[in-house]
Amino acid sequence: MHGAQSKRDLAMELQAQLPILRPSIHTRRANLTVKFQDLYGFTVEGNVDDVNVLNEVREKVRQQGRVWWALEASKGANWYLQPQVSSLSEGIVLKSSLKISALANAMTLKKLIRKGIPPVLRPKVWFSLSGAAKKKSTVPESYYNDLTKAVEGKVTPATRQIDHDLPRTFPGHPWLDTPQGHAALRRVLVGYSFRDSDVGYCQGLNYVAALLLLVMKTEEDAFWMLAVLLENVLVNDCYTNNLSGCHVEQRVFKDLLSKKCPRIAAHLEALEFDVSLVTTEWFLCLFAKSLPSETTLRVWDVLFYEGAKVLFHAALAIFKMKEEDVLLAHQVGDVINIIQRTTHHLFNPDELLTVAFNKIGFMTTNTISKQRKKQEPEVMKELDERLRRLNSLREDDR
């Protein structure tokens, strides 16, 4: 993969240096739809206003890059790896031995990450701060290579589903939708399906792993990022057979929506609108299939540092941003269209994250954990009842 990888990295670097996109005069006048590739090779489709937004975002990315490089120059290349205090706001008591400089670094880092990690630094920063580097260090260096060799040629229900999903994962992408891209994604997904047989493979993971492959420098690092995501960052059982963890997250989100956006929640309830119609994909694919790539990765920047509560912040923000439009909708289909149009055109990550962290209100990991524990028994009861009904139907068929 390394030959293709280096070409892909070079292409991304060149893409970042492209001149500002300038639609033709005819396009500007007619406000026609334009198409072009973003930094990660995805085809972006939007109007001229979207292009202007993307140009502004690209300039902000450059500015953020200069800030990070200045910090690296003054504090050292790995300054952000000093003792972390990422949960200060959640009431963790500082040890007396913790230096003020470490505290300052942690506060600076949190603000910086919410403003976005420069694409060129993402692989290094994600790998360190997510815990992936630590996880990888607990096994022999040859672990990933040994794993991929050991499972090569083996056929399981997971591998069959993976093979079915590969061509459907970001079709048309200039690298992912190639034999080399499919092979790399397959090795990551199949490898993980054998590492954790309880998870195996679940649809949705293909989009997550594909985006990790585009960001990380190596296939092996993408594998470890997937591992830390499923084993440490996200709620347990999100991707197991019955998706119990995902069902719990949906219930938690619905409860949060009623507290943070009560007008929206009441209106959706009156319409008999089930929020899981749109949010299930968000929580399973971590927005990779719903938001533009740079916006998704900005959410992931914070996700890998602050944890899964960020997904709730982002999901609530999407509804909050379109509150007035949603309140005017009178059909379930209208709500779905409003939300999908919003996510498709959310090219400005700052617009989403500003609402997510400044207008949704404070949420802690501890609070969300309590909500999960509260919802879990009811979810398990419903899933057990569903399983009993299915078994009963099978018995009747016999």
Q: Is residue 10 part of a domain?
A: no
- Which residue, chain included where needed, has tokens 């269209």? 337
Please indicate, yes or no, whether residues 330 and 195 belong to a single structural domain of this protein: no
- pLDDT recorded at residue 101: 62
- Residue 308 structure tokens: 């899964």
Please indicate, yes or no, whether residues 60 and 147 belong to a single structural domain of this protein: no
Q: pLDDT of the chain along its 398 residues, tens only?
A: 544 555 555 445 444 444 445 544 444 444 678 887 888 899 888 888 888 888 888 899 999 999 999 988 998 888 888 655 444 344 444 444 445 666 667 788 899 999 999 999 999 999 999 999 999 999 999 999 999 999 999 999 999 999 999 999 999 999 999 999 999 999 999 999 999 988 999 989 999 999 999 999 899 999 999 999 999 999 888 888 888 888 899 999 999 999 999 999 999 999 999 999 999 999 999 999 999 999 999 999 999 999 999 999 999 999 999 999 999 999 999 999 999 999 999 999 999 999 999 999 888 888 898 998 998 898 888 888 877 777 777 666 66
Q: Is residue 382 part of a domain?
A: yes
Please indicate, yes or no, whether residues 123 and 72 belong to a single structural domain of this protein: no
Domain ends where: 77, 105, 131?
A: 77
Please indicate, yes or no, whether residues 227 and 240 belong to a single structural domain of this protein: no
Q: Is residue 188 part of a domain?
A: yes
Please indicate, yes or no, whether residues 223 and 207 belong to a single structural domain of this protein: yes
Q: Are 125 and 65 in contact (CB under 8 A)?
A: no
* Separation between Cα atoms, residue 395 and residue 331, nearest integer Å: 39
Report the sign of the C-alpha dihedral through residues 116, 122, 128, 133, in that order. positive
Please indicate, yes or no, whether residues 207 and 59 belong to a single structural domain of this protein: no
The domain that holds 210 is classified in CATH as: 1.10.8.270
* Separation between Cα atoms, residue 318 and residue 184, nearest integer Å: 33
CB within 8 A of 354, min separation 6: which ones?
A: none
The domain that holds 357 is classified in CATH as: 1.10.472.80
Q: Is residue 86 part of a domain?
A: no
* Separation between Cα atoms, residue 316 and residue 369, nearest integer Å: 17
Taking alpha carbons only, the member of 322, 296, 320 closest to residue 310 is: 296
Q: Is residue 241 part of a domain?
A: yes
pTM: predicted TM-score of the whole model, two decimal places: 0.86
Domain ends where: 18, 51, 77?
A: 77
* Separation between Cα atoms, residue 235 and residue 308, nearest integer Å: 7
* Separation between Cα atoms, residue 37 and residue 174, nearest integer Å: 10
Please indicate, yes or no, whether residues 269 and 210 belong to a single structural domain of this protein: no
For 190, other C-beta atoms within 10 Å of its C-beta total 21
- pLDDT recorded at residue 380: 87
Ramachandran angles phi, psi of 234, nearest 5°: -85, 165
Domain ends where: 77, 106, 141?
A: 77
**Considering just the CA atoms, what is the radius of gyration of the chain in Å?**
22
- DSSP designation for 306: H
- Which residue, chain included where needed, has tokens 């949060």? 256
Per the structure, the count of domains in the chain is: 3
DSSP for 265-278, please give it.
HHHHHHTT--THHH
Please indicate, yes or no, whether residues 370 and 343 belong to a single structural domain of this protein: yes
Please indicate, yes or no, whether residues 135 and 161 belong to a single structural domain of this protein: yes
* Separation between Cα atoms, residue 122 and residue 118, nearest integer Å: 6
Residue numbers of the domain that contains 126: 116-233
Taking alpha carbons only, the member of 370, 125, 86, 71 closest to residue 248 is: 370
Please indicate, yes or no, whether residues 239 and 220 belong to a single structural domain of this protein: no
Q: Are 261 and 321 in contact (CB under 8 A)?
A: no
Q: Is residue 93 part of a domain?
A: no
Please indicate, yes or no, whether residues 206 and 261 belong to a single structural domain of this protein: no
Longest CA pairwise span in the chain (Å): 73
